[in-house]
Amino acid sequence: MQQPLNQTHDPAARSWIESANAPAADFPIQNLPYAVLRRKNTDEAFRGAVAIGDQALDIAAWASRAGLNGTAADAARACGQPVLNAFFGMGPSAWRALRHALFSALHEHAPSDDRAAIEACLIPLTDVECGLPARIGDYTDFYTSLYHATNISKLLGLSGVGANFKSIPIAYHGRVSSIGLSGQKFVRPAGQIMLPGSDAPIFSPSLKLDYELELGIYIGQGNAAGEPIELDQADSHVFGLCLLNDWSARDIQAWEMQPLGPFLAKNFATTISPWIVTMEALAPFRLPLARPATDPKPLPYLDSDRNRMAGAIDIQLEVWMETARHRAGQLPASQLSHTSFKHQYWSVAQMVAHHAVNGCNLRAGDLLGSGTVSGPERSEAGALMELARNTSEPVTLNTGEKRSYVEDGDAIILRGYCEKPGFARIGFGESRGEVLPAKV
């Protein structure tokens, strides 16, 4: 069910924390994204927090001083745990109650007592380290961009996307243990590769390491086994979204995906951003879900008036690359692409509804990947394989270096934000991952 707009979306609302009022701030009072964190260089327990401007608010500590009661108090206590699964599982009424209590206490017109309770629980973002925000029981990665699928098919010499792409949101089961937070460093993966013109595979570090620009979708309330989730109720099962880099070894992938799905090409690293932007914060940025009139109509369980009218979300997404030369010369990273999540062929609600339609029981804290986000223009490609045309047209960086795939020492930075006339800009922070040399 789509979130209605309310006072927390008021573009004129300002916080008494002045850094939250900067026009380009990622974390204004209209956002209030969640993470789990602690102070750097301490052995404090991780606990839930929201970002406001350049500060993080320790939610449980604030609740103990603020005299909260009812659902908001219960939700705040759940945020005091090292992961947010219990809070996720409380559902939309609890999420809303806590968000609105936070909004009131952080608003510029908040009473002085509310301000005092908040001030005692703020930590500068520069002084925190984040942990994985949830105990991720399962991770499913989707494949939902028609532009990405079409581009990849052409680069691989295929006649077109699979016959099922326009009928079902395609997905595979991913690896939880290698999901890491922004700042993740991982060694280049190795595996079997079939080199062009060869008749036998070799074992080698990947020669075609790529990134994939995606969003992560956190399940809030789950569903009982055997009980599907209706499309128009699917959004109420989603707590929020983060940035997600689905690192991919294209050469390993090409050989192993015959006939099953990704395995070693995908399971070595997935990098997510620490902050989760809630579905309520994203409500102003909903758009109709575009689908060509000539395409087959989805089956009834994947189709509704509400999903057609507001299934898409206009989230601006950017990919940047920082090489060792950037760091040595203290140069700004090179922007590789800029696109929007509104271009996805399948909506978040459709992914969730399809995942559960066979009776699969989703659980609080499960993570879904949206699939690579690519737009209609080349500059909107969500993977380097697309941008560099599979090595035929390397990308030139602002250092003069060229890239067809990700090299050792390269860092990929994903950034995201929403902006729209008449509403406050909100941001996702960033997801950063860096490739280290292979160990073989």
Domain boundaries along the sequence of the chain: 7-130, 139-436
**Binding-site residues from annotation:** 141, 143, 212, 214, 246, 253, 266, 270, 372
pLDDT at 220: 98
Tokens of 361: 């029981």
355 catalytic residue (yes or no): no
Annotated catalytic residue, options 148, 237, 354, 355: 148
Continuous segment of H or E residues that includes residue 402: strand 402-403
pTM equals 0.97
Number of H helices, E strands in the chain: 11, 26
pLDDT at 114: 87
Residues in the chain: 440
Do 67 and 76 form a contact (C-beta atoms < 8 A)? no
> 136-146 as b/e, with b when 16 or more CB fall inside 10 Å?
bebbbbbbbbb
Q: What is the pLDDT of residues 160-214, one digit of tens each?
A: 888 899 999 999 999 999 999 999 999 999 999 999 999 999 999 999 999 999 9
Q: What is the pLDDT of residues 17-64, one digit of tens each?
A: 999 999 999 999 999 999 999 999 999 999 999 999 999 999 999 999
When the candidates are 3.30.365.10, 3.30.1490.20, 3.90.850.10, 3.50.50.60, the CATH number that belongs to 139-436 is 3.90.850.10
**Binding-site residues from annotation for Mg(2+):** 246, 266, 270
Do 381 and 145 form a contact (C-beta atoms < 8 A)? no
Q: What is the pLDDT along the chain (440 residues), one digit of tens a residue?
A: 567 899 999 999 999 999 999 999 999 999 999 999 999 999 999 999 999 999 999 999 999 999 899 999 999 999 999 999 999 999 999 999 999 999 999 999 999 988 999 999 999 999 999 999 999 999 999 999 999 999 998 998 877 888 899 999 999 999 999 999 999 999 999 999 999 999 999 999 999 999 999 999 999 999 999 999 999 999 999 999 999 999 999 999 999 998 988 999 999 999 999 999 999 999 999 999 989 999 999 999 999 999 999 999 999 999 999 999 999 999 999 999 999 999 999 999 999 999 999 999 999 999 999 999 999 999 999 999 999 999 999 999 999 999 999 999 999 999 999 999 999 999 999 999 999 999 98
Do 374 and 147 form a contact (C-beta atoms < 8 A)? yes
**Binding-site residues from annotation for Ca(2+):** 141, 212, 214, 246
pLDDT at 3: 73
When the candidates are 2.30.30.230, 3.30.2320.50, 3.40.720.10, 2.40.40.20, the CATH number that belongs to 7-130 is 2.30.30.230
pLDDT at 2: 61
The interaxial angle of helices 92-106 and 70-78, nearest 10 deg, is 100
